[in-house]
Amino acid sequence: MTITAAIVLFAVTWFMVFFIVLPLRLTTQGDAGVVVPGTPKGAPLNEIVARKAKITTLVAIVVWAALYLVITSGLISVRDFDWMDRMGPVRTE
């Protein structure tokens, strides 16, 4: 795996984890009963994005490391997903 592929894999992993972590423990203005004029009831009450970004980074590092090890070990390859046998036989030269 090249350094560019590793960085792209980390970025994709980070954003996937971020979108999972973002709604956790979310308190909306509507839930708290304090709606600021001009904002929707579904707007967050507290801005804790920095804390969620730190949590996301820690979780993403663990997930990225697991994915990196699986990819570089050869445990799973692209041929494992060739269910219609379109890649042909493996060449042994």
Residue 69 lies in a domain: yes
Residue 82 lies in a domain: no
pTM to 2 decimal places: 0.76
Residue 62 lies in a domain: yes
- Note down the domain range covering 65: 3-77
Domain count, the chain: 1
Residue 85 lies in a domain: no
Residue 24 lies in a domain: yes
| pLDDT reading at 11 higher than 80 | yes
The β-bridge partners of 44 are 28
- Rounded (to 5) percent helix, strand, coil in the chain: 55, 0, 40
Write the pLDDT tens digit of every residue in 57-77: 999 999 999 999 998 998 888
pLDDT of amino acid 14: 97
Q: Which two tokens stand for residue 55?
A: 């949590």
- Count how many residues are written for the chain: 93
